[in-house]
Amino acid sequence: METNHTPGPWTCYADLPSTGPNWHIVTANSRMRVLANVHIEPGNKMDAANARLITAAPDLLAVLQELRESAEYWSEYDVPCGIVERMDAALAKVYGMTANKEDK
């Protein structure tokens, strides 16, 4: 399935206004395309971690898609129970669908 999101890689950088840093999630090849703004309170490590997680989204999606495509070749004894269903549920969020097979 294809997605309509801005292709990765994405990167983030911080502006340092007097009120605290605002992190901009941008396409790696151009700071002209701002994908998200994350205001980070000074010293708030959770906000910085959120910005890094958003930045990693295209890479995480690519890995998840690759794993899901290979899942048909896995032995049921080699993987945790329910992992394929959890991958399908996560991918359904990406594609804006429900994870039920009847809905696909």
Cis-peptide, bond into residue 9, ω within 30° of zero: yes
Residues 6+ away with beta carbon under 8 Å from 34: 24, 25, 26
Q: Name residue 23's beta-bridge partners.
A: 14, 38
pTM of the model: 0.72
In tens digits, what is the pLDDT along the chain, a chain of 104 residues? 566 777 778 887 776 655 566 777 878 776 666 777 777 777 778 877 888 888 899 999 999 999 999 988 888 777 888 899 999 999 999 888 765 554 44
* Ranges of each domain in the chain: 10-103
Distance CA 50, CA 76 (A): 34
